[in-house]
Structure 1
Amino acid sequence: MGMAEQVSGFGVAVVREDGRWRCAAMDPAALGELDAAITELRGTRSTGAVFGLLAVDDEFFVVLRPSPGGIALLLSDAAAALDYDIAADALDVLRVEPPEDVDDVWPEGSLDLLADLGLPAAELQVIVDEVDLYPDEQLQMIAQRLGFADEYTKHLDTILR
């Protein structure tokens, strides 16, 4: 694969530090290539939790959380790997084969990657299962549940204008 093509969507880097939430726009390149997203999140200086929320092309979302030992991630729809580099990269990291059929929708990765921040795996599963919602709406539910919906919405307003 050469240059990643521009993929529509957005990435938000979320930081929780000293009990406060901050959101920052991620480089659009992060949507095309998982390594770019991971590198950017690792470069976010914070003593607290740092994770990325990526909504890709109105099709699926990825939650990424770098840790000293590696990367925790959740891909909302494994079948996206058949069409999108970043989803294929995610399955590579997880060492999972892509599904045969694009109509099979299931998540792949760690549903508990935000559990310590207040979003248990079972609740994240419920959000993933809301397949009638757009990924930005599913991410909005995650933000709501964790308590940074206002920051997330304000942030989206600025990047989606």
Structure 2
Amino acid sequence: MAVKEPVAGFAVAVVREDGRWRCSALDGDALNSLDTAITALAKMRSTGAVFGLLAVDDEFFVIVRPSPRGPSLLLSDAAAALDYDIAADVLDLLRVDPPDEEDESIWPEGDLDILSDVGLPAPELEVIASEVDLYPDEQLQMIAQRCGFGDQYTALLDEI
């Protein structure tokens, strides 16, 4: 089995418990393997929200939210599936075909309501995901601010 090259970026687990937000770093393997990210998040026990924010290679982000009926997913740029295994895995789980090589468009794919219960309605998430002039870490910062865990998110990124 071939060893995968490490992917640049970061993966953050976000947990809301008893009205408080907590952010922690996920292992770097979460950027290589969607299954690794889902498994790590599913192990985090909480009565509140648990989800992962993955910024991949300054190109796109993935939001992963495990649930007993299967993970909810959002990929900020469906075309990333042409170049990145984790993005292809997201589309595969969503049962969505990757775009054509010639298609230059950028569009999100997946559950835009993934964070609506924590303060980010689908239309706002779609606007953030469609901001092609922003890097994924900047888009995720906007998401963190909007949901109310911006300070915890920024503090964690300063550490990693």
Q: TM-score, normalised by structure 1?
A: 0.96
**Which residue of 2 is the match for residue 26 of structure 1?**
26
Preserved contact between residue 4 and residue 33 of structure 1 (Cα < 8 Å) = no
Distance of 2:103 and 2:11 partners within structure 1: 24
**Which residue of 1 is the match for residue 10 of structure 2?**
10
Distance of 2:15 and 2:112 partners within structure 1: 19
Distance of 1:11 and 1:122 partners within structure 2: 24
Preserved contact between residue 15 and residue 48 of structure 1 (Cα < 8 Å) = yes
**Which residue of 1 is the match for residue 119 of structure 2?**
118
- Kindly state the Cα deviation for residue 4 of structure 1 after the two structures are TM-superposed: 2.5
**Which residue of 2 is the match for residue 137 of structure 1?**
138
| Secondary structure of 1:15's aligned partner | strand
Instruction: Output one character per residue of 1:5-50: Cα deviation in whole Å (capped at 9) or x when no partner.
Output: 2000000000000000000000000001100000000011212110
| Secondary structure of 2:16's aligned partner | strand
| Secondary structure of 1:30's aligned partner | helix
Unaligned runs of 5+ in 1: none
Tell which deviates more after alignment, 142-151 or 2-11.
2-11
| Secondary structure of 1:10's aligned partner | strand
Letter paired with 1:126:
V
Instruction: Output one character per residue of 1:124-147: Cα deviation in whole Å (capped at 9) or x when no partner.
Output: 011011110000000000000000
Distance of 1:71 and 1:4 partners within structure 2: 24
Q: TM-score, normalised by structure 2?
A: 0.97
Letter paired with 1:70:
G
- Kindly state the Cα deviation for residue 2 of structure 1 after the two structures are TM-superposed: 3.4
The number of residues matched between the two structures is: 159
Instruction: Output one character per residue of 1:81-140: Cα deviation in whole Å (capped at 9) or x when no partner.
Output: 000000000000000010003522111000001101110000001101111000000000
Structural mapping, 1:1-161, within 5 Å: 2-100=2-100, 101=102, 103-159=104-160
- Kindly state the Cα deviation for residue 71 of structure 1 after the two structures are TM-superposed: 0.5
Matched-pair identity in %: 72
| Secondary structure of 1:104's aligned partner | coil
| Secondary structure of 1:145's aligned partner | helix
Q: Quote the RMSD (CA, aligned, Å).
A: 1.0
Instruction: Output one character per residue of 1:33-69: Cα deviation in whole Å (capped at 9) or x when no partner.
Output: 1000000000112121100000000000000000111
Distance of 2:119 and 2:141 partners within structure 1: 15
Distance of 2:20 and 2:43 partners within structure 1: 19
| Secondary structure of 2:99's aligned partner | coil
